[in-house]
């Protein structure tokens, strides 16, 4: 009897110890869609705050000096989201490097004042814009602890959709390309992700790819085509093709890079063959004849960026305008690819009242110097590391893949201002939370995902 009692006590202690040491389970779906399990229900008011600020950040309601309503809300809630940074490797580094870059941009402008024109409004706008981006990233990262990732993307996407305006002079010529393309793609793919079926992802991306093809949206077509291939690749029967599985995140990134080159060449061939319309074909052939490359012909700002980096490697400053010597260096670089820099575009758009190099990398470097360049590298590294891990584990959703491919594109070919909301969302969704990962559940009910009114103890996890 005494021996039996002793064995029972030992068993109870062992069970208690295992319970204490067991890691908090994480339900994972294809896009690192994880909400930590907890015994404490998330208050409805907390979820409402998360949703409202997500929409506000996506909306980008502009106030003076680069401030937005969403940036203000995210900054006011710093005590709420700041502890979250420590739970995601790389998040704190990103924010610290970002704020060092803000200080660098101000310091460079002060140094340049004797030889350059300093525009105070640009200095304030660019500095506040980067600080707001960092605060918004921290907030959206925090929302992953109270909402499923798919719903984070959906609410953010609805904010993006609400911000679409007809102010662009070319909107009515092509509403999809110059208005709804990015926002609607985020919303549609987020819904497909909520439904949690690979086929929904595949058909959603396929439909969007065809739509971009027939609306003369070359970059969107290429981005969605690559996304489509990656979604289809993850649907392969891995049990039969074990030798073809790529387990390394770095290997996945290399494979995606090779695939991107293939897609680029196939897309260029399709355009030249007239599959995307005669107007697109004529424009593409003209750019190929001018620069010898579709990328350089379509983005001559790259040549200006390279020339300016060689001319003044430490950057210019958040409020600095180019002086005549700097402008000549930029034009010389553009002329080297047979582009005519004296057409008004360079003086009026690129360097008229600011420095706009039409790439996240170029803009961060020019405005914030070496720390800005380092920030760009950190952003790219974190995004590629996250997607590499997701694809290697066969868990990357269509929305995650689309956001990452889009980010790599704007890193080299898109202005920082228009890319800001994309960077906020993709960084928040691709960072990998510390802790163990359990296999995703085989099935879940869509109704259980609605982010209001269910306790985490009873709701099916996304």
Instruction: Name residue, tokens 């995703």.
Output: 440
Residue 235 pLDDT? 81
| Weakly modelled stretches of the chain, pLDDT under 70 | 1-40, 238-249, 268, 271-277, 279-280, 283-284, 286-298, 435-462
Q: Where are the beta strands (DSSP E) in 167-309?
A: none
Instruction: Name residue, tokens 């995606």.
Output: 256
DSSP 286-332: HHHHHHSSHHHHH-THHHHHHHHHHH-TT---TTBPP-HHHHHHHHH
75 CB burial (10 A radius; 0-12, 13-18, 19+):
middle
pTM over 0.95: no
DSSP 8-class letter at 165: -
93 CB burial (10 A radius; 0-12, 13-18, 19+):
middle
Tokens of 243: 């030798």
- Cα 51 to Cα 18: distance, rounded to the nearest angstrom: 37
Residue 22 pLDDT? 37
Tokens of 428: 């928040």
Other Cβ atoms less than 10 A from the Cβ of 441: the count is: 13
Residue 34 pLDDT? 45
Dihedral sign of CA atoms 69, 127, 306, 290 in order: positive
Residue 276 pLDDT? 65
Instruction: Name residue, tokens 């208690």.
Output: 16
Residue 73 C-beta-side C-alpha neighbours within 13 Å:
20
Residue 339 C-beta-side C-alpha neighbours within 13 Å:
27
Instruction: Name residue, tokens 């107007």.
Output: 279
Contact 318, 105 (CB under 8 A): yes
């Amino acid at each position: 009897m005494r021996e039996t009692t002793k064995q029972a006590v030992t068993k109870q202690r062992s069970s208690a110890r295992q319970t204490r040491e067991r890691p908090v389970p994480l339900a994972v779906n294809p896009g690192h869609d994880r909400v930590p399990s907890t015994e404490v229900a998330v208050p409805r008011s907390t979820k409402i705050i998360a949703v409202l600020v997500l929409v506000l950040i996506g909306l980008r309601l502009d106030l003076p000096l680069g401030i937005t309503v969403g940036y203000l809300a995210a900054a006011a809630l710093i005590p709420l989201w700041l502890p979250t940074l420590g739970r995601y490797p790389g998040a704190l580094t990103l924010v610290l490097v970002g704020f060092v870059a803000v200080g660098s941009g101000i310091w460079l402008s002060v140094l340049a004042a004797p030889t350059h024109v300093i525009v105070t409004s640009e200095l304030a706008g660019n500095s506040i814009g980067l600080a707001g981006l960092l605060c918004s990233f921290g907030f959206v990262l925090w929302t992953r602890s109270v909402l499923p990732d798919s719903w984070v993307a959906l609410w953010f996407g609805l904010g993006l959709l609400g911000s679409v305006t007809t102010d662009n002079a070319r909107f009515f010529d092509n509403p999809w390309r110059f208005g709804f393309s990015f926002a609607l793609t985020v919303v549609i793919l987020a819904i497909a992700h909520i439904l949690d079926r690979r086929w929904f992802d595949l058909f959603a991306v396929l439909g969007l790819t065809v739509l971009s093809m027939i609306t003369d949206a070359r970059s969107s077509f290429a981005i969605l085509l690559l996304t489509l291939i990656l979604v289809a690749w993850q649907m392969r029967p891995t049990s039969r093709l074990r030798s073809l599985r790529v387990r390394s995140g770095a290997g996945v990134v290399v494979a995606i890079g090779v695939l991107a080159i293939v897609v680029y060449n196939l897309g260029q061939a399709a355009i030249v063959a007239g599959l995307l319309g005669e107007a697109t074909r004529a424009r593409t052939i003209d750019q190929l004849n001018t620069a010898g490359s579709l990328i350089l012909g379509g983005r001559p700002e790259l040549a200006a960026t390279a020339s300016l980096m060689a001319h003044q490697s430490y950057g210019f400053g958040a409020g600095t305008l180019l002086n005549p010597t700097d402008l000549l260096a930029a034009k010389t670089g553009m002329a080297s690819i047979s582009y005519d820099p004296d057409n008004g575009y360079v003086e009026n758009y690129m360097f008229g009242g600011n420095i706009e190099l039409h790439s996240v990398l170029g803009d961060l470097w020019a405005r914030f110097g070496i720390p800005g360049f380092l920030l760009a590298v950190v952003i790219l590294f974190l995004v590629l590391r996250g997607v590499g891990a997701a694809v290697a584990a066969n868990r990357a959703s269509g929305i995650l893949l689309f956001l990452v491919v889009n980010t790599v594109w704007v890193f080299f070919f898109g202005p920082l201002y228009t890319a800001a909301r994309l960077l906020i969302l993709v960084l928040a969704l691709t960072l990998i939370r510390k802790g163990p990962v359990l296999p995703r559940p085989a099935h879940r009910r869509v109704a259980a995902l609605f982010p209001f009114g269910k306790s985490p103890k009873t709701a099916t996890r996304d």
